[in-house]
Chain A
Amino acid sequence: MKTTEDLQSCRYELSENGEGEITLQIQGQLDVSNSAAVINGLNKWFRDRRLGALTVDLEALTHLDDFGVLALVQTRRLVAEREGTFHLKNVSDNVSEMLSFFHFDSLARKPPFAKRRRPGMLIRLGDGTIRVASEFRSLTAFIGAVCLGLLHVCRHPRSLRTDDTFLYMQKTGVDALPIIALISFLIGLTMAFMSAVQLEQFGANIYVASLVSLMMARELGPIMTAIIVAGRSGSAFAAEIGTMKVSEEVDALFTMGFDTVRFLAVPKIVASVLVVPLLTLFSDLFAILGGLVVGVFMLDLTANGYMDQTIKTLSVFDVFWGLFKSGVFAFLVAWIGCFRGFQVEGGAASVGEATTSAVVSGIFLIILFDAIFSVILRYWG
């Protein structure tokens, strides 16, 4: 019985003598262009077939590369799995040279790639504990380094890299203003709309202004602004410092005698602490504007009446408490962004992890500290 297969620049023929002895004749080139087809064709042909011996006749083989050698290795493996014997016949000098060049004899004996072993539960638990402890240690060390850096800047204001600080003020503040204004306006609009549905039933439309202004000034304004800054700037700080670590720029700064935290982190933190409260103020104003639009166009309130109620509701303390909180959030977001950047080791994947972690940790810290501030205000306010 004979089976013939014509492929691109290669033809192979399988003939069976009925006693389990098979001859495979390969003609033409066995290379990158056709080896996958040959391997898959032979896999299919040998499936469910018993065989005693396979002889591969290479007399008409004109060209062989590593993909061709691979086809022969795979064929030999198929035969070995069926406990048959494998022979090569009419091997020319060129082919023989290629076979030895690619270590044909030793290739089939190697096992598949070793799978990376997953360590046991105890080891993973220990690893996790050490990792958390070491992260806490570096976190504390970084807080110390940042505090020292800020202290140094307070004592020697000229040591602050003012050009960088202004640049980050622009990036974190000015560039974020349009998106913060738009989101705050829409939040104010939604809040007013949703509360109006309830308050309208009691004829208390005017309190929509109180609700929007108080909520924004004390809670939502600082939180929303800080979350947007964490997404825009916290991630950017982590990616920038992380990439600098990967490309050894941080090492270069260190060996040039610079304090890397003071050089890289302090300008970002100072810039954030200065501009984020201003952004929060804008956020409050745009949310009040959003509430005003709903009040005037849907609740038949006058603009004067709405603003009058807003001013009556808000105390100076409310506004400044919100701004103080946003200053603290800004510090946390910038600090954790820089910290994650400095934690980068290895390559691009590590930079991605640091960026994600900067945003997630930033948002977590914002919510955590907001809860702490709420408790402080409740008991000591």
Chain B
Amino acid sequence: MPFSRLYSDTGGERQVVGRQPLIQVKRLVAKYGEDVVLDRISFDVYEGEIFVVLGGSGCGKSTLLKHLIGLIPPHSGQVIIDGYDISKSDEVTIENVLRRIGVLYQSAALFGSMTLAENVALPIKEYTALPPEAVTTLVRMKLNLVNLGAYEDYFPSEISGGMKKRAGLARAMALNPKILFFDEPSAGLDPVTSAELDNLIIHLNKTLGTTMVIVTHELQSIFSVAHRVIMLDKHSKGIIADGEPKYLRDHSKNPFVRKFFNREAPEEITA
């Protein structure tokens, strides 16, 4: 089913209808010590969606991502991934969730002592019963997918930042996860490389149907890849906008949201 059909067409900040959510966040509270970073936020992410979490610096985007991928247990509330409640933190649940997700970290987090092929092969060897020659072929398919077929023997220190991100993506996709999480995928990349990575994300989403959750504040990337965004706010510690990025840019009732999407300085809001 084409993704656009997931939305009702009644205008306004459109709602996703017709499918069960793959990720459900219910009244999540995130705290560092006594400091509340996110206060009772709730949202859903649907299958096949490219979902973007955005907001200014310090609004809790990365904290939210760490809660979604199980790195930090929530202070209260629930995070349900494909039916598994990771807030319960039991080993079996976490293991089941981890097999359903892949994460591309901001620095790509490739293992420096391994070649790109070895990086991608690591989870495949660990979690499948494939014979060695099949692992080799599969690793090549994964690297070809991100246009790094010619660099299988290179070490991470020998390739550029954009290539590292693509290799990190190939490793994140090694076991065909249902959901891919991206932490600031465009950070540190030039506009052309960043656009290439955006195209790759769209391509993979269309071809493989993988659900993507992207944490970023790169507006150009957001407009080109996002089906739906939520915007976090540092002051209210919650979600201040939810919908399609272009709609929010032009029609959001919240002036801060409109200014953010139009890259206008926040001083003008208070002026």
Contacts and interface: CB of A to CB of B under 8 A. Distances in A.
A287 to B, nearest CB: 42
A40 interface: yes
B95 to A, nearest CB: 16
Most buried by A among B128, B134, B142, B208: B134
B133 interface: yes
B208 A65 contact: yes
Interface in A333-368: 346-350
B13 interface: no
B130 A36 contact: yes
B22 interface: no
B144 interface: yes
B151 to A, nearest CB: 12
Interface string B145-161: 10000001101110000
A98 to B, nearest CB: 8
Most buried by B among A107, A108, A116: A107
Contacts of B133: 74, 77, 112
B164 to A, nearest CB: 11
B69 to A, nearest CB: 20
Interface in B113-155: 113, 117, 128-131, 133-134, 136-138, 140-142, 144-145, 152-153, 155
A254 to B, nearest CB: 20
B153 A70 contact: no
Interface residues of B, number: 27
B149 to A, nearest CB: 9
A110 B113 CA distance: 25
Given A65-B176, A66-B138, A349-B112, A36 B153 contact: no
B175 interface: yes
B270 interface: no
Most buried by B among A67, A108, A116: A67
Contact of B141 (A39, A107, A112): A107
Contacts of A113: 117, 136, 152-153
Interface residues of A, number: 31
Contact of B112 (A65, A70, A348): A348
B136 A346 contact: no
A31 B210 CA distance: 14
Contacts of A349: 112-113
A43 B130 CA distance: 11
Contact of B144 (A31, A32, A103): A103
Contacts of B111: 347-348
Contacts of B175: 32
B131 A43 contact: yes
Contacts of A65: 176, 208
A242 to B, nearest CB: 13
B128 A73 contact: no
A348 B157 CA distance: 11
Nearest to A74: B134
A66 B117 CA distance: 16
B139 to A, nearest CB: 8
Contact of B129 (A31, A37, A102, A110): A37
Contacts of A348: 111-113
B4 interface: no
Nearest to B99: A32
Nearest to A104: B141
B10 interface: no
B19 to A, nearest CB: 18
A380 interface: no
Contact of A110 (B138, B140, B145): B140
Given A40-B131, A43-B131, A66-B141, A347 B157 contact: yes
A317 interface: no
B176 A73 contact: no
Contacts of B138: 66-67, 70
Given A346-B112, A347-B157, A349-B112, A35 B130 contact: yes
A114 interface: yes
A379 interface: no
A35 B156 CA distance: 30
Interface string A67-100: 1011001100100000000000000000000000
A297 interface: no
A370 B134 CA distance: 57
Contact of B176 (A36, A43, A66, A101): A66
Nearest to B208: A65
Contacts of A350: 112
Given A66-B145, A70-B137, A107-B140, 19 more contacts: A32-B175, A35-B130, A39-B131, A43-B131, A66-B138, A66-B142, A66-B176, A70-B138, A74-B137, A77-B133, A108-B137, A113-B117, A113-B136, A346-B157, A347-B111, A347-B156, A347-B157, A348-B111, A349-B112
Can you list the 8 inter-chain pairs with the closest CB atoms, starting with the nearest? A347-B112, A349-B113, A36-B129, A32-B176, A36-B130, A36-B128, A70-B138, A346-B157
21 contacts: A32-B128, A35-B130, A36-B129, A37-B129, A39-B134, A43-B131, A65-B176, A66-B138, A66-B176, A69-B141, A70-B130, A73-B137, A74-B134, A102-B144, A110-B137, A112-B136, A113-B117, A114-B153, A347-B113, A348-B111, A348-B113
Interface of A: 31-32, 35-37, 39-40, 43, 65-67, 69-70, 73-74, 77, 101-103, 107-108, 110, 112-114, 116, 346-350
